[in-house]
Amino acid sequence: MNSQADLPNLAMALEYADLGAALYLAGGSDHAARLLAAAAEEVLGDLAKLLGPHAHSDEVQTLLARVALRYQAPPLDTRMASGVRPSQLGLLDEDYKDYAEQRRSQVRSATASYLRAAWYTLEAMGLEAVIPQRLQKAVDHSTIYL
């Protein structure tokens, strides 16, 4: 295991999780949020496997905490639109509304699951103190407020 080489992966996973959580909380760009959350969960899972029994050593925890604490989330513009029209899906306007709401609910549920998985993976790695604030809010929102 090369802790120094794993630091960029941790920074990338934190960014994915944070941006996915921000999109989830904003209620827009659900597909992008789900993809980011899934990528974060996958990268964190790979890191956790690589760290294995070394995850809780002082050296590894210090390195992981250092990169996590230095991480700054980029600002987020949530004004993206899907651009899909009902006629493109072969649906009438009223049918499209039902379809869109059902699909949106499924995507948000999947996104929340991925975000929770990323949160639990960070916790299992001993990094609960450096979990991005937006990820914590998204997990709280998806588990407490629903």
Q: Among 36, 35, 42, 34, which Cα is nearest to 9's?
A: 42
As a whole number of angstroms, the longest Cα–Cα distance in the chain is: 60
Query: Could you tell me if 126 and 44 are in contact, meaning their C-beta atoms sit under 8 angstroms apart?
Result: no
Residue pLDDT tens, the chain, 146 long: 455 666 778 888 888 899 999 999 988 778 888 888 888 888 888 877 777 777 677 777 776 666 666 655 555 554 444 455 555 555 555 666 677 777 778 888 888 888 999 898 888 888 887 788 999 999 998 887 65
Query: Could you tell me if 21 and 138 are in contact, meaning their C-beta atoms sit under 8 angstroms apart?
Result: yes
Residue 47: predicted pLDDT: 79
Q: Among 48, 9, 20, 46, which Cα is nearest to 113's?
A: 20
Number of Cβ atoms within 10 Å of the Cβ of 128: 12
Whole-angstrom distance, CA of residue 81 vs CA of residue 69? 32
Locate the domains of the chain by residue range.
Answer: 3-143
Q: Is the four-CA dihedral 45, 46, 51, 52 of positive or negative sign?
A: positive
Task: Look up residue 71 and give its two tokens.
Answer: 């991480």
Whole-angstrom distance, CA of residue 92 vs CA of residue 136? 39
Whole-angstrom distance, CA of residue 28 vs CA of residue 16? 16
Residue 135: predicted pLDDT: 92
